Structure 1
């Protein structure tokens, strides 16, 4: 069975979302489009939170968000426990986000990447495994509350 990947954007990411949804289907993934459904102005948290909830609950392993800079979507998604939403503007950033941070939500800055670059970033993120090892300790510390992560434990 194909992995289901939810994808969502605000108005700034709408066109690139449509393009990446097609690319995901061509790569053999099941796409769950959580909106927006037009380029009309919308609020990014309305799309980031539902996608992040699916990752947080374990309903899906990973998801893709898009907005103008990627920043708003990442702020909202990263408020959810267990979600590691990474803004990636180049394939190398997407690879490092997976290798070192086990990023489970890819956030694309739609106003700053071309369709072609967006597809390359997406493919790299999908295909790159988490390296674990010394990085696992660091990822674990992301989920720790403020008083639990002082110093090297």
Structure 2
């Protein structure tokens, strides 16, 4: 496990009630990243500046590397109904180890941020 501060949810939690507290910890700086584990891994509503991306075992490496490398996701959303404990461990380790690429991806995220802010 990376020495980051993170805000996990309990396994198989109801994301609608858990996403806001995890997102709030991440956006306030109390946690660097968050991990959400729900049934399907779809996630619920998200607060602003929380870039959660669902990652399923069948698309394991691709989804994780894109979510962090291209999208700078700060919340990993996992599906407990679709993942084994080994899948979850592998997803989390890969996600934490994947750096954000920046460049054109940072420009795109800045553009999205401006659109979300209405500018």
TM-score by length of 1: 0.67
CA distance in 2, matches of 1:52, 1:142: 18
Please give the root-mean-square deviation of Cα atoms over the aligned residues, in Å: 1.7
CA distance in 2, matches of 1:142, 1:122: 26
TM-superposed deviation, 1:69: 1.0
The 5-angstrom pairing of residues 1-153 of structure 1 reads 2-9=3-10, 13-14=11-12, 43-71=14-42, 73=43, 75-77=44-46, 80-89=47-56, 90-145=60-115, 148=119
CA distance in 2, matches of 1:107, 1:141: 24
TM-superposed deviation, 1:53: 0.4
TM-superposed deviation, 1:6: 1.0
| Structure 2 residue ranges without an equivalent (≥5) | none
Q: Deviations over 1:88-136 (max 9, x none)?
A: 1113211111010000000001111111111111111000000000000
Q: How many residue pairs get matched?
A: 113
TM-superposed deviation, 1:137: 1.0
Bigger mean CA deviation after superposition, 125-134 or 136-145:
136-145
CA distance in 1, matches of 2:115, 2:79: 29
CA distance in 2, matches of 1:86, 1:142: 16
Q: Is the 8 A contact 2:5 2:30 kept in 1?
A: no
